[in-house]
Amino acid sequence: MRTSRMPALIAGLLFAITAHAADTDHWQLPVAVKKLDNGLTVVVSEDHSSPTFGISTVYHVGMRLEPQNRTGFAHLFEHLMFEGTPNAPKGTFDRVVQGGGGVFNGSTRADYTNYIASAPISALEPLLWIEADRMKTLDFSDKNLDNQRNVVKEEIRVNVKNQPYGLFFWTDLDALAFDKWPNKHDGYGSFEDLDHASIADVKAFHDTFYQPANAVLGISGDVTPEQAFALAQKYFGAIPSRPLPARPDVSEPLNTKGRHLEQTDALAKAPAIAVGWKAPDRGSKDQMPMLVLAQLLVGDDASRFYQGLVKGREQLLQIQGGVNFALGSGTDYAGPTLFGLFAIYKPNAQPDQVLAALNEEIAKVAKDGVDDATLARVKTKMLSDWYGGMEDFLSRADTLAKLQTLWGDANVVNQVPGWINQVSANDVRRVAQTYLTDANRSVIIRRPVAAHGKDAGAKPAKH
């Protein structure tokens, strides 16, 4: 063996060296923030290493705030943002971005909806113009609505109804773990609710939430903050803001009794399990320790769950998970979320054994915390991943805009490495004890229909 176990003293010295090396890896991103008079916040990170830019317009509205009888509406609305305005008819957006050599997309999450693009810097002004144009108003037409309703249904068919496992570790696990409608409902939506969505709904949603005071514009790349602020003022400055409704209280306490659900899957060939524990609030003292714990347990091939259950006990084919899994990261949520897991288990394993094994690994941390060597490795990996997530201008602009939206401070981007570094073994132990309990745990076992045979007792899968 090239590396053998070393006496503690030498090991300590080595870590000192490692920590020193990590200092040279320090990366401070420039962050400039300005709020326009109409309430639009603009965040800029200048970088001239590539003649391109990334842009992300983040609206502080997502699935949690969609109307109660309109599941899936925030996402359907996101689609309609690409379907034209009175000034720029359907198709114009695509032509402007692609004609500028750019790529674009949008996504809807629990707490935000983001519109992202990246292009050569020569396309910056046209992209800002067309982004501002759709913040003003949309082409509220039934034809567009019908068209995108069909497209969204196809999206749901691709990802849910025609797909093994059908994202049950997102929608079904949220439905089981949470009690308040904003947190527990299916954000992809029922076809029935999608069918009921009307142009009046679309207009009301745009009027309420799609306005400067509810948005952050992130720009990163080959532009100075002064230039970017001036352009933002030029294209967005005249858009009026409107009063915003008060945000509902969506908070939930940790669960006090474990929850368990069994499902069947008409498409899958192998059984799977999803587990979720309610996680610390964004910005709470437990959030960073929980992120470190999640990395320790399931972050990579060195993690406890991987080494303990994929290797070791050989119960799982694969496991993935994290805080705010499966649709986000540990820093881009603003309401209740889960430390979630999804695993496919093997024919030699039973779900009870898997759950017991997960608990054994958790118990080790809850009892003993984590040794210094492991903690240092885990933190180094998290630092590397945090920087890696900021590599391209698009991800950088998007991260900054999301942090400004959800944390109220884009500079969090430069604080997270220090916060991670401050987490102690005791912190990790504390959050393992507090959050990863059976009482706070929700579990779904999902088995192939075939595994049940034609047993009349087998319940059909939700989807």
CB of 231 to another protein, least distance (A): 9
Shortest Å distance, C-beta 261 to another protein: 21
Least Å from the CB of residue 393 to another protein: 7
Find out whether 383 and 417 touch, Cβ atoms under 8 Å.
yes
Among the listed residues 61, 176, 309, 376, the single contact to another protein using CB under 8 A: 376
Q: Where are the beta strands (DSSP E) in 74-189?
A: 103-108, 113-120
Ranges within 101-130 binding another protein (CB under 8 A): 101-104, 118-126, 129-130
What tokens were used for 130? 């067309």
Piece in contact with another protein (CB under 8 A), picked from 209-217, 330-338, 343-351, 437-445: 343-351
Q: Which residue has the tokens 């929980």?
A: 290
Contacts (CB under 8 A) with another protein, residues 268-327: 268-270, 300-302, 306-307, 311, 314, 317
CA gap 103, 445 in Å, rounded? 39
- Say how many residues touch another protein, by CB under 8 A: 92
Among 12, 67, 99, 460, binds another protein (CB under 8 A): 99
Query: What tokens were used for 192?
Result: 């029935």
In the 8-state DSSP scheme, what is residue 278? E
Which string of x and - marks every residue 386-425 that binds another protein (by CB under 8 A)? -xx-xxxxx-------------------------------
Exposure string of 371-401, with b = 16+ CB inside 10 Å and e = fewer, is eeebbbbbbbbbbeebeeebebbbbbbbbbb
Q: Rounded distance, CA 301 to CA 102, Å? A: 35
Q: Given candidates 13, 16, 18, 181, which one binds another protein under the rule CB under 8 A?
A: 18
- Is 344 a residue that touches another protein (CB under 8 A)? yes
Complex with another protein: residue 74 or 96, whichever CB lies closer: 96
Within its chain, how far is the Cα of 188 from the centroid? 15
Q: Residue 276 and residue 438: Cα distance in Å, rounded?
A: 10
| Window 45 to 64, contacts with another protein (CB under 8 A) | 47, 49-52
CA-based nearest residue to 73, from 139, 149, 169, 5: 149
Cβ 423 to another protein shortest distance, Å: 16
Q: Please, which of residues 173-192 interact with another protein by CB under 8 A?
A: none
Per-residue burial over 404-414, b = 16 or more CB atoms within 10 Å of its CB, e = otherwise: bbbbeebebbe
Residue with smaller CB distance to another protein, 129 or 140:
129
| Binding residues for another protein restricted to 242-271, rule: CB under 8 A | 266-270
Q: How far apart are CA 408 and CA 421, in angstroms?
A: 22
Write the binding mask 23 to 42 for another protein: x where contact by CB under 8 A, - elsewhere: -xxxx---------------
Q: 78 to 97, contacts with another protein by CB under 8 A? A: 87-92, 94-97
d(CA 400, CA 395): 8
